[in-house]
């Protein structure tokens, strides 16, 4: 098999076939939108998360877009409805995000006008108790106390390798994570615990900066992010994350290299673990750490994303070198 060619922006390569097979057999919704599977025996194509009976891998072919699957003569599955828009793609995480967005509008009303009644009405809830329960679930605080509450502001970032959720306080960005990632919920919990603030989908200047820097990064024109970052962790995690930030754009280090740089060659596994707990993907470049053998190693956001990020950085670096 020849290695796939990855253009810098927009078009998405398919993940490796074994990875896609694993994904649809497990009904893994984090791959929804990444690929579609088409079943030769039925002529139907599905999202990876489809709950219909799983076809045998030998009867399946994979497409990266709905269009390709349809051009190949397949019809859309009536159960997982692959033709339906973006909004349905990201499963529960996306719905939870929308619900939180709606509640955030209510939080702003309370903060600015001190009017709980109006907030209930604006958020589309019929009763105070229903609103209070939903609010407490999302913000971990009762509406009456929200006026004084500060919050981690959450924003939605679209990137060529899938949407991400970012978090910010006035001191900086404290979260950047792929929305499909199973760890997202856990990371949101950690942020909430570390910062002792509710999570509120809302705007923030740091989120605006991050959004435009991500655009430049994916266009291959930005090598270092300037947006401030706040990443509290254990002493060891913080040392690992600081070390990751020293790996130059376009280069990689092994887990062992990082352990040695920290003065403890034996800490390879601990380095790997801290690497995986990085909450600020891309900006703290945990994707630049690979296995000693040169294999990619792990990546919480999915190996195809890691491959894609490294390819992007390598291509932009060599392009830059040729120009200079």
Q: Which is nearer to Zn ion, 20 or 110 (CB)?
A: 20
Residue in the structure block whose two tokens are 């490294």: 310
Q: Would you call 98 a catalytic residue per the annotation?
A: no
Closest separation in Å from C-beta 82 to Zn ion? 7
Minimum gap (Å) between residue 45 Cβ and Zn ion? 8
Q: Which is nearer to Zn ion, 52 or 66 (CB)?
A: 52
Contacting residue, 46, 134, 157, 176, with Zn ion by CB under 5 A = 46
Residues 6+ apart with CB under 8 A from 5: 13
Site for Zn ion in 270-309 (CB under 5 A): none
Q: Which stretch binds Zn ion (CB under 5 A): 7-15, 47-55, 94-102, 110-118?
A: 47-55
Q: Which stretch binds Zn ion (CB under 5 A): 39-47, 152-160, 176-184, 309-317?
A: 39-47
Return d(Cα 254, Cα 260) in angstroms, integer: 10
CA gap 266, 246 in Å, rounded: 20
Give kind and range of the element (H or E) at residue 101. helix 91-113
Q: Which of 7, 56, 71, 79 binds Zn ion (CB under 5 A)?
A: 79
Nearest CB to Zn ion, comparing residues 32 and 313: 32
The piece of 44-52, 100-108, 191-199, 303-311 that touches Zn ion (CB under 5 A) is 44-52
37, 39, 80, 258: which one contacts Zn ion (CB under 5 A)? 80
Give φ, ψ of 32 to 5 degrees: -60, 130
Question: Is residue 77 a contact residue for Zn ion (CB under 5 A)?
Answer: yes
Q: How many residues bind Zn ion (CB under 5 A)?
A: 6
Cβ distance to Zn ion smaller for residue 34 or 109: 34
SS (H, E, C) 5-50: CCCCCCCCCCCCHHHHHHHHHCCCHHHECCEEEEECCCCEEECCCC
List 50, 103, 166, 258, residue binding Zn ion (CB under 5 A): 50
Written as six digits, the tokens of 199 are 């999570």
DSSP string, 64-83: SSHHHHHHTTPEEPTTT-TT
Contact set for Zn ion, span 153-172 (CB under 5 A): none
Instruction: State which residue, 79 or 292, has the beta carbon closest to Zn ion.
Output: 79
Contact residues for 256 (Cβ-Cβ < 8 A; gap 6+):
265, 268, 271, 292
Q: Are strands 75-76 and 199-201 parallel, antiparallel or unpaired?
A: unpaired
For 132, list phi and psi in degrees, rounded to 5: -60, -40
Spot the catalytic one: 50, 77, 80, 286. Answer: 286
Q: By CB under 5 A, name the binding residues for Zn ion.
A: 46, 50, 52, 77, 79-80
Residues acting as catalytic residues: 286
């Amino acid at each position: 098999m020849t290695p796939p060619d990855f253009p810098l922006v927009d078009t998405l390569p398919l993940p490796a076939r074994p990875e896609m097979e694993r994904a649809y057999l497990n009904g893994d919704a984090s791959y929804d939108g990444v690929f579609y599977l088409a079943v030769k025996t039925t002529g139907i194509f599905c999202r990876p998360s489809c709950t219909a009976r799983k076809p045998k891998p030998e009867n399946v072919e994979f497409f990266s877009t709905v269009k390709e699957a349809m051009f190949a003569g397949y019809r859309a599955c009536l159960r997982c409805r692959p033709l339906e828009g973006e909004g349905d793609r990201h499963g529960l995480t996306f719905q939870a995000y929308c619900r939180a967005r709606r509640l955030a509008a209510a939080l702003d009303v309370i903060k600015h006008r001190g009017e709980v009644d109006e907030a209930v009405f604006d958020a589309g809830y019929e009763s105070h108790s229903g609103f209070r329960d939903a609010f407490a679930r999302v913000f971990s605080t009762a509406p009456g106390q929200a006026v004084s509450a500060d919050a981690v502001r959450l924003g939605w970032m679209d990137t060529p390798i899938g949407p991400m959720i970012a978090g910010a306080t006035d001191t900086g960005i404290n979260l950047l994570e792929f929305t499909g990632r199973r760890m997202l919920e856990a990371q949101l919990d950690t942020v909430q615990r570390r910062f002792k603030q509710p999570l509120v989908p809302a705007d923030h200047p740091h989120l605006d900066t991050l959004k435009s820097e991500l655009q430049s990064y994916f266009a291959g024109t930005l090598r270092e992010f300037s947006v401030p970052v706040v990443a509290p962790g254990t002493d060891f995690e913080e040392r690992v994350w600081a070390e990751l930030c020293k790996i130059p754009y376009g280069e990689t280090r092994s887990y062992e290299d990082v352990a040695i740089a920290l003065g403890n060659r034996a800490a390879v596994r601990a380095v790997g673990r801290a690497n995986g707990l990085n909450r600020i993907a891309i900006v703290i470049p945990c994707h630049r750490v690979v296995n000693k053998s040169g294999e990619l190693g792990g990546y919480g956001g999915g190996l195809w994303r890691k491959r894609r990020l490294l390819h992007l950085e390598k291509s932009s670096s060599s392009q830059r070198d040729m120009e200079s």
